[in-house]
Amino acid sequence: MKPERPHFREEFWENPPALPPGVELVRQEGLVVPRTGPGGESAYDLAEVRLSEAKVPVLLSYRAPLFPAQVVAQKDKLQSLREQLRLRESDVGKLPTFRVPMLVTDSASPRVVEACANNELALVDQRGTFFLRAGSTFIRIQGSGSSSRVPREPVFHGKGSRIVRVLLKFPGRRWTVRALSDQTQTSYTYAHGVIKRLTQEGLVDVSGGVRLREPVGLLKTWMKHGRPTAISKEGFNAPSTTPDVLDRGYRRLESQGIRSIFSLASGLEPDERFVSGLPHGLYLSGSLERAIDAFGLRRMTPYNFWILRADPAAETEVGGVYFGERSLAHGPGVSLPQLAVDFQHSGGRGEEQADELLRRFAKSLPLVEELE
């Protein structure tokens, strides 16, 4: 049996399949769900199948490769998660959304397609296979494309973003590709691919070693064209976000062995706040319920505090959200470049705050006179 591909979710969206005319699959929100038993987390997505005559909400689960014998177990997981989502929406007074469970895989065999049809599961694969039965909607297409495409190394998400963070942290340093790969725990080939793309964009100079040519340009490109680092976020109402409350909440999580780091408004120094009405945020690696308890959060609007779940490849100190942390009065905060990116994707007046942080980053860069 082939081993499961741990980064298949990224691969699928990096190179989406060619779907039938009039069919579009749009990702809306990521979900990170802790596993029972030995631990770990599973990633799902809320999405929407958009047809000319209707929009069908779906709940996506990723499995590559996928075998017929695994379909029933996948169905049980998706139905359980769908019911939890329904109850959560009911708890906050929202009208529950019925989502069709859908499996995403690399190459679905005819037996897999048949198993999904028998178990009322929707299906899509990288070859363009598509099966959906929902109400009066019925689509069944057997894909004929290739699923062997190798995606280009992602620069601003996944492991590629680790290299970007390291370069921005040390904008004047010269690196070897090997040193960068060691620092970020990526393979030499992967790091070389990322550096090659950055060089082609004119952001990196490789003469005499790898060095940033345009630090501000790299951060600006990450802000404008990168994906959010948080693959999911959940909004809460925090009765108080004063520094002492934030400090107590962080220390409480720390005492329980739960790792976290502040972002958004709670990641700012007092003199960095440029606009008002900004939401607070916390990247969390651990129990959501304990974070709710630690900060006294409530599942009600208006939301002013977001719990963020980082892309698994960025949930690390080796070039991830815990790399280059800043020491704040109430606990650690993400690096300035990461903070700017988070504000860029936060909505509201977050983009204005992100632009202010970009200006501050530019102003902090050391002046260097190149010797001839």
Q: Can you list the domains of the chain with their CATH numbers?
A: 8-141 (3.40.1350), 160-225 (1.10.10.10), 230-362 (no CATH)
CA dihedral 23, 24, 30, 35 (to 10 degrees): 30
Return the pLDDT at 94. 64
Out of 1-5, 199-203, 212-216, 355-359, least confident range? 1-5
pLDDT at 110 over 60: yes
Q: Which residues contact 103 (CB under 8 A, 6 or more apart)?
A: 60, 61, 62, 63, 66, 71, 74, 78, 116, 121, 122, 123, 124
- Dihedral sign of CA atoms 154, 158, 162, 165 in order: positive
What's the pLDDT tens digit per position in 1-14? 455 666 788 888 88
Q: Extract the runs of DSSP E, i.e. beta strands, from 286-338.
A: 305-310, 326-328, 331-333
Q: Which residues contact 86 (CB under 8 A, 6 or more apart)?
A: 96, 97, 98
Q: For residue 165, which of 136, 194, 123 has the smallest C-alpha distance?
A: 194
Residues 176 and 210: beta-carbon distance below 8 Å: yes
Return the pLDDT at 309. 95
Return the pLDDT at 239. 96
Give me the mean pLDDT over the 211-215 stretch. 93
Residues 163 and 319: beta-carbon distance below 8 Å: yes
pTM of the predicted model as reported, rounded to 2 decimal places: 0.65
Out of 121-130, 144-153, 166-175, 214-223, least confident range? 144-153
Return the pLDDT at 367. 65
Return the pLDDT at 153. 59
pLDDT at 151 over 80: no
What's the pLDDT tens digit per position in 272-311? 999 999 999 999 999 999 999 999 999 999 999 999 999 9
| Residue type at 371 in one-letter notation | L
Residues 226 and 156: beta-carbon distance below 8 Å: yes
Q: What percent of the chain has pLDDT over 70?
A: 91
Greater model confidence, 288 or 41: 288
